[in-house]
Chains A and B, each alone.
Chain A
Amino acid sequence: MITFATVSDLMPIIPELILTFVAILVLIVDLVGTQTKYRITAAVLSIFGLCIAIVAEIQLFGENYTGFFNTVVADEYSILFEIIYMITGIITIMISWHYIAENKMNFREYYALILFAIIGMMFMTSSTDLLLIFIGLEIMSISSYILVGMMRQSVKSNEAALKYLMLGAFSTGFLLYGISLLYGATASTKLPEIVSHLQEHGVFNNPLTGFGLALLVIGVGFKVAIVPFHMWTPDVYSGAPTPVTAFMSAAAKAAGFAMLIRIFLTGIPYAERWDNLMWLITVLTMTVGNVMALKQISIKRMLAYSSIAHAGYVMVAVVAGSEAAISGIIFYSLAYALMGVGAFGVLSIQSKGRTLETYDDFTGYASQGPKEQVMAFLMSIFMLSLLGLPLTAGFVGKFQIFYAALDAGWVWLTVIAAMNSVISLFYYLRVIVCMYMKDPLDSAVDGNEQPTFSSVFAISGLLGTAIAVLYLGVFPNRFVELAQLSVKTISF
Chain B
Amino acid sequence: MLATEYFPILILIVLGLVFATVFTLAGILLGPKSRGKDKEMPFESGFASKGLVGQRYDVKFYMTALIFLIFDVEIVFLYPWAVKFRELGWFGFIEVCFFILLLLVSLTYVWKKGALEWE
Contact = CB atoms under 8 A, between A and B. Distances in A.
B7 to A, nearest CB: 25
A271 interface: no
B91 A31 contact: no
A6 B105 contact: no
B91 A24 contact: no
A6 B92 CA distance: 9
B109 interface: yes
Interface in A101-116: none
A323 to B, nearest CB: 40
A31 B115 CA distance: 13
A7 interface: yes
Contact of A27 (B88, B91, B92, B109): B109
A277 interface: no
Interface in A22-36: 24, 27-28, 31
A4 B81 CA distance: 12
Contacts of A7: 91
Contacts of A24: 102, 105
B109 A31 contact: yes
Interface in B19-56: none
B87 interface: yes
B64 interface: no
A31 to B, nearest CB: 5
Chain A residues touching B, range: under 10
A7 B91 CA distance: 8
A490 B91 CA distance: 32
Interface in B85-119: 87-88, 91-92, 102, 105, 108-109, 112-113
Contact of B108 (A2, A4, A6, A31): A31
Interface string A1-15: 010101100000000
Contacts of A28: 105, 109
Given A27-B109, A31-B108, A31-B112, A6 B87 contact: no
B112 A4 contact: no
Nearest to A4: B88
Contacts of A4: 87-88, 91-92
A4 B86 CA distance: 13
B62 to A, nearest CB: 14
A2 B87 contact: yes
A36 B87 CA distance: 50
B22 to A, nearest CB: 37
Contacts of B102: 24
A27 B112 CA distance: 11
Interface in A20-58: 24, 27-28, 31
A67 to B, nearest CB: 15
Contacts of B105: 24, 28
Contacts of B113: 31
A266 B96 CA distance: 37
Nearest to A25: B105
Interface string A369-395: 000000000000000000000000000
Contacts of B109: 27-28, 31
A237 B112 CA distance: 33
A24 B112 CA distance: 15
A28 B110 CA distance: 11
Nearest to B113: A31
Contacts of B108: 31
A4 B87 CA distance: 9
A19 B102 CA distance: 15
A24 B98 CA distance: 14
A340 B29 CA distance: 70
Nearest to A27: B109
B108 to A, nearest CB: 7
B44 to A, nearest CB: 29
B46 to A, nearest CB: 36
A24 B104 CA distance: 12
A31 B111 CA distance: 10
A4 B109 CA distance: 32
A27 B110 CA distance: 11
Nearest to B108: A31
B91 A6 contact: yes
Nearest to A24: B105
Contacts of B112: 31
Contacts of B87: 2, 4
A77 B44 CA distance: 58
A28 B105 CA distance: 8
B87 to A, nearest CB: 7
A215 B21 CA distance: 38
Interface of B: 87-88, 91-92, 102, 105, 108-109, 112-113
Given A7-B91, A31-B109, 4 more contacts: A6-B91, A24-B105, A28-B105, A31-B112
A-B interface, 10 closest residue pairs, ranked by CB to CB distance from nearest: A31-B112, A27-B109, A31-B109, A24-B105, A4-B88, A28-B105, A6-B91, A7-B91, A31-B108, A28-B109
16 contacts: A2-B87, A4-B87, A4-B88, A4-B91, A4-B92, A6-B91, A7-B91, A24-B102, A24-B105, A27-B109, A28-B105, A28-B109, A31-B108, A31-B109, A31-B112, A31-B113
